[in-house]
Amino acid sequence: MTELKLIESIRSQVKPHPNVMLGIGDDCAVLQSHPQAQLVTTDTLMDGRHFICGDTPPALIGRKSLAVSISDIAAMGGVPEAAFVSLVIPQRKESQPLVEGLMSGIVTLADKFHIAIAGGDSNSWSGPLVVSITLTGRPHHRGPVRRSGAKPGDSIFVTGPLGGSIDDHHLNFEPRTFLAKELLDLTPITSMIDLSDGLATDLRHICSESAVSAQLNPEAIPFRSNITHLDTRLEKALTDGEDFELCFSLNPKGVETLKRAKLSQPIYHVGTIVKQGPNALQWNDGTAIISTGFEHGF
Amino acid sequence: MTELKLIESIRSQVKPHPNVMLGIGDDCAVLQSHPQAQLVTTDTLMDGRHFICGDTPPALIGRKSLAVSISDIAAMGGVPEAAFVSLVIPQRKESQPLVEGLMSGIVTLADKFHIAIAGGDSNSWSGPLVVSITLTGRPHHRGPVRRSGAKPGDSIFVTGPLGGSIDDHHLNFEPRTFLAKELLDLTPITSMIDLSDGLATDLRHICSESAVSAQLNPEAIPFRSNITHLDTRLEKALTDGEDFELCFSLNPKGVETLKRAKLSQPIYHVGTIVKQGPNALQWNDGTAIISTGFEHGF
């Protein structure tokens, strides 16, 4: 298949979008400007690292490649708008169904979240599949929720059970943009991050950007039902990664507001922000949490 | 090196930018909105295809990876603003100097074009180096220049000599944003594209999007000085690709305006837009041009 045919096929699947003035087919896409700021995030997923070609159905590879970026927009409290899809495709006989499946997974999830596929790039080589997606979005009218606004006394929440995402959750998780909007419609959120590298690593980012520490209640941390072993499940919930739930902090007034509200799904109060101490993370009995989630390196 | 250290090192090299409200270090970047539209382009470059790790100095790999996207912004007549850099890094001993050189090449060119490095992603694996850059920009006040506005009677120009870019031009070319602005300050441009796949292929894109044909004057096509063989240089100028000059069309009034203007660099009048015929491209004696430039496929 030539790149031109691939682009034509993608162009034919893509619906018009009110904020995309010019989509696929020119040197650049042209997006409508917002009165508010624009969010931009980018994620690159590779065969053997984030998915296994041959094992993972192509549509789920495509779905995950877009879902991780939607999750980043959710973590700023935003609404996704336009995606730019770069494919590096293995030169193999089976690549045509691979690309078709990949794109169908991307387009299906994009439609569900009202995201336009506004551009991209495609190349082929003798190496493994790489999918890189850049996603734009608009913030909630309260403004983008950063990692840096947590204050001592705030409560820490997560939006779903953690750990064991390797089974299939990392491929079919639901990015939390709708819930983030629901929360922000009710109350300001002082800080937020999405859990991609594990609560232990990602909550440390909030602590370091906000210059605070965090106390977690081991009894309150929700586990995914596939991690049942008592000795290891706390460790797995903290470090497995790819949960793609949100972790956020609320001030006491926000907690009161949410107590009175009916949310569309449960959230879990897992701890408290405290003054910055020698350990970014500790249990609520004061002992340090030394676990770390996934650390990228080369 | 861990990803966190890499991000810290990049963060320390990046200067603040008036249009980047929040750069590296959160889930998304936050860009200031323009009253005008936003341009977005994305390009992915791979070892063995667009550069050769080991042969190509890392700083030139970085330079090229950003320059090709600046060239896309130039092709819309825009000014680049914020870059998002995704790296897929080989897990090798030599990767630290590779990444440092790569980033220095990116940062140096970004500074020259007043581009902020506003975000990105980094991953490592056992495969070859992949660099994917998404670049945003703002259009000229006349609006984005599309491929689709060429009209019969327009003149076709290119902004520099073509062919033979494989020597080193493809690594150190100058993206034409300044020239594009200079031209647009003087006159509207009816269509424009940057020459990445060769004049024969890229001018066909203008013809197809504008529903016109193009006549080229073989005597007027400028050659790079390293292609000297009389029999093949026309073919090479049309098909080698990676010239990264601009090809654009002007109506007769625009041509008159430019004749009276002093431009900072020469431009070359290579042909004329004509009514759509059976061949998108022909020589000015009416014979069809069958050459095609680079076609991506998998």
Question: Would residue B164 count as lying in a domain?
Answer: yes
Helices (H) and strands (E) in chain A, counts: 8, 12
ipTM of the complex: 0.93
Query: In this structure, are B118 and B225 located in the same domain?
Result: no
* Domain final residue pick, A113, A138, A163: A138
pLDDT of A73 reads 97
pLDDT of A193 reads 98
Q: How far is B59 from chain A (nearest CA, A)?
A: 19
Give chain A's domain count. 2
Q: Along the 298 residues of chain B, how does pLDDT read in single tens digits?
A: 677 787 788 888 888 888 888 888 888 999 887 777 899 999 999 999 999 999 999 999 999 999 999 999 999 999 999 999 999 999 988 888 999 999 999 999 999 999 999 999 999 999 999 999 999 999 999 999 999 999 999 999 999 999 999 999 999 999 999 999 999 999 999 999 999 999 999 999 999 999 999 999 999 999 999 988 878 899 999 999 999 999 999 999 999 999 999 999 999 999 999 999 999 999 999 999 988 776 666 6
Question: Would residue A69 count as lying in a domain?
Answer: yes
pLDDT digits (tens, 9 = 90+) for A66-96: 999 999 999 999 999 999 999 999 998 888 8
* Domain final residue pick, A138, A166, A194: A138
Query: In this structure, are B7 and B133 located in the same domain?
Result: yes
Q: Is the predicted pLDDT of residue A296 greater than 70, yes or no?
A: no
Query: In this structure, are B127 and B11 located in the same domain?
Result: yes
* Domain final residue pick, B109, B138, B167: B138
Look at B28 and A3 and tell me if their CB atoms are within 8 Å: no
Question: Would residue A150 count as lying in a domain?
Answer: no
Interface test with A, best of B27, B49, B69 (most A CBs within 10 A): B27
What does the pLDDT average to over A104-131? 94
Query: In this structure, are A162 and A68 located in the same domain?
Result: no
Query: In this structure, are B96 and B123 located in the same domain?
Result: yes
Rounded to whole angstroms, the Cα distance separating B254 from A12 reads: 35
DSSP calls for A175-239: --HHHHHHHHHHS--SEEEE-SS-HHHHHHHHHHHHTEEEEE-GGG--B-TT---TTTHHHHHHH
Query: In this structure, are A134 and A159 located in the same domain?
Result: no
Identify the CATH number of the domain in which residue A215 sits: 3.90.650.10
> Judged by CB atoms within 8 Å, which residues 62-81 of B form the interface with A?
72-73, 75-76, 78
Instruction: Look at the block and give the residue holding tokens 């912004």.
Output: B73
Query: In this structure, are A111 and A18 located in the same domain?
Result: yes
Between B8 and A280, the more confident residue is A280
User: Any CB–CB contact under 8 A between A38 and chain B?
Assistant: yes
For residue B21, the chain A residues in CB contact (below 8 A) are 37
Phi, psi of B293 (to 5 degrees): -80, -155
Query: In this structure, are B189 and B265 located in the same domain?
Result: yes
Question: Would residue A290 count as lying in a domain?
Answer: no
Question: Would residue B171 count as lying in a domain?
Answer: yes
Query: In this structure, are A168 and A120 located in the same domain?
Result: no
Question: Would residue B235 count as lying in a domain?
Answer: yes
pLDDT of A90 reads 94
Query: In this structure, are B200 and B113 located in the same domain?
Result: no
Sign, CA torsion A269/A272/A273/A276:
negative
Rounded to whole angstroms, the Cα distance separating A124 from A66 reads: 20
- Write out the residue range of the structural domain in which residue B259 sits: 155-283
Query: In this structure, are A221 and A246 located in the same domain?
Result: yes
The three-class DSSP label of residue B206 is helix
Question: Would residue A297 count as lying in a domain?
Answer: no
Interface test with B, best of A11, A17, A20, A26 (most B CBs within 10 A): A26
Query: In this structure, are B15 and B116 located in the same domain?
Result: yes
pLDDT of A295 reads 66
Q: Which of B49, B56, B68 is nearest to A89 (CA)?
A: B49
- Average pLDDT, whole number, for chain A? 93
Identify the CATH number of the domain in which residue A14 sits: 3.30.1330.10
Q: Is the predicted pLDDT of residue A35 greater than 80, yes or no?
A: no
Q: Which of B90, B75, B85 is nearest to B110 (CA)?
A: B85
User: Any CB–CB contact under 8 A between B206 and chain A?
Assistant: no
Phi, psi of B101 (to 5 degrees): -65, -45
Question: Would residue A101 count as lying in a domain?
Answer: yes
The one-letter amino acid code at B297 reads: G
User: Any CB–CB contact under 8 A between A88 and chain B?
Assistant: yes
